[in-house]
């Protein structure tokens, strides 16, 4: 196996610059190589699965591959956090001795090394996720935890984390942070006409509130289209996923409550497809109607997404 060329100081990415600072005698793979790895793995997997009897499970299998790199990144990051905790204790106890000084250097190096490894796995993960979306039209997001913002993906924050942060901000009477726009839409609203009007509505919202964050449950169809828009625009994405294991049939409506607790400046809804043929065969989406009703009861600004006049 041919080793990647050593990194140089010219035109380094953030990951490569951080890796170079470690002064490791071993070379780190360039970011382009890591990106190619994620792309190749996902492409190979989908090609093989798509031509077999496993085709019906290609979405689940593809998400499992992305999730594996996400889990590895999280595990390495926890190791880095432990090293930093150890480092904090060593700094507090530092007495000027050579022994403690050596331990501090080792703990610092361990934390920095883990940070670089975490970045590497996130680059592979993001490349695999982008290839997965291009090939399948599906958008991957973790069921637990969050995905930090990178050059290619928007930040994804679970609604519970955002709620805790909002409460902390109110308690401290500090900056309220990002402006939240909530979006709820029907799974069947995934036609070309729907996508065009959804993007129009979201672009309008971003013009009104340039620092907006998009809150959605991440349901199939229209909300997946909204997630794609957020990723392309680099907009922070707040996921209030329906927890069916905990709340059963009420889960989609509990997700609405989580979004409303974020105090959105605007609520956008699309209860049925704009395409007349699609809409005629299906009932309006209850959770979208529910969010619109609750927004009205709270006096929040609400705009239904409609067909062009």
Residue 92: what pLDDT?
Answer: 72
Beta bridge partners of 304: 269
Given this model, what pLDDT does residue 164 score? 59
Q: What is the pLDDT of residues 164-191, one digit of tens each?
A: 555 555 554 434 356 899 999 999 999 9
Structure tokens at 32: 């382009």
The number of CA neighbours under 13 Å toward the Cβ of 258 is: 26
Question: What was the pLDDT predicted at 103?
Answer: 77
pLDDT digits (tens, 9 = 90+) for 57-67: 988 899 999 99
User: What integer pLDDT is reported at residue 243 of this predicted model?
Assistant: 84
Tokens (6 digits) for 304: 């239904």
pLDDT above 90 coverage of the chain, percent: 41
pLDDT score of 9 more than 50: no
Domain boundaries, the chain: 14-136, 156-304
Q: Name the residue with higher pLDDT: 6 or 35.
A: 35
pTM: 0.58
Q: What is the rounded CA–CA span in Å between residue 45 and residue 50? A: 8
Residue 145 sits at φ, ψ, to 5 deg, of 80, -165
Predicted pLDDT at 34: 95
Q: What is the mean pLDDT of residues 298-305?
A: 91
Q: What is the pLDDT of residue 154?
A: 47
CA atoms of 64 and 58, how far apart (whole Å): 10
Average pLDDT, the chain: 82
Per-residue pLDDT, 42: 94
Average pLDDT for 192-205: 94
The mean pLDDT of 128-134, rounded to a whole number, is 90
**For the chain, how many helices (H) and strands (E)?**
11, 6
pLDDT of residue 207 exceeding 80: yes
- pLDDT tens-digit map of 235-260: 888 888 888 888 888 888 999 999 99
pLDDT at residue 71 is higher than 80: yes
pLDDT above 70 coverage of the chain, percent: 82
Q: What is the pLDDT of residues 35-57, one digit of tens each?
A: 999 999 999 999 999 889 999 89
Which fold would CATH assign to domain 156-304?
A: Rossmann fold (3.40.50)
């Amino acid at each position: 196996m041919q080793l990647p060329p050593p990194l140089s100081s010219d035109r380094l990415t953030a990951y490569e610059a951080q890796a170079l600072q470690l002064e490791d005698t071993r070379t780190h793979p360039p970011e382009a190589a890591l990106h190619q790895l994620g792309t190749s793995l996902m492409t190979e997997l989908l090609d093989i699965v798509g031509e077999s009897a496993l085709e019906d499970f290609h979405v689940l299998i593809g998400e499992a591959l992305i999730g594996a790199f996400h889990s590895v990144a999280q595990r390495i990051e926890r190791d880095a956090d432990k090293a930093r905790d150890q480092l904090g204790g060593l700094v507090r106890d530092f007495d000027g001795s050579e022994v403690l000084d050596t331990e501090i250097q080792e703990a610092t190096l361990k934390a920095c090394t883990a940070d670089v490894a975490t970045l590497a796995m996130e680059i592979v993960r993001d490349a695999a996720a982008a290839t997965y979306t291009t090939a399948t039209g599906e958008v991957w997001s973790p069921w637990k935890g969050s995905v930090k913002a990178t050059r290619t993906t928007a930040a994804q924050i679970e609604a519970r984390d955002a709620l805790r942060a909002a409460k902390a901000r109110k308690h401290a009477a500090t900056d309220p942070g990002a402006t939240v726009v909530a979006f709820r839409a029907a799974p069947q609203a995934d036609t070309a006409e729907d996508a065009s009007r959804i993007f129009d509505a979201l672009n309008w919202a971003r013009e009104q509130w340039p620092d907006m964050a998009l809150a959605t449950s991440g349901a199939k169809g229209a909300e997946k289209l909204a997630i794609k828009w957020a990723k392309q625009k680099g907009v922070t994405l707040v996921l209030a996923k329906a927890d069916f294991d905990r709340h059963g049939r009420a889960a989609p409506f509990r997700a609405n409550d989580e979004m409303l607790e974020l105090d959105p400046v605007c609520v956008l809804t699309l209860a049925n497809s704009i395409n007349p043929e699609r809409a005629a065969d299906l009932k309006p989406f209850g959770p979208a109607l529910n969010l619109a009703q609750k927004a009205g009861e709270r006096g929040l600004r609400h705009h239904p997404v409609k067909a062009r006049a």
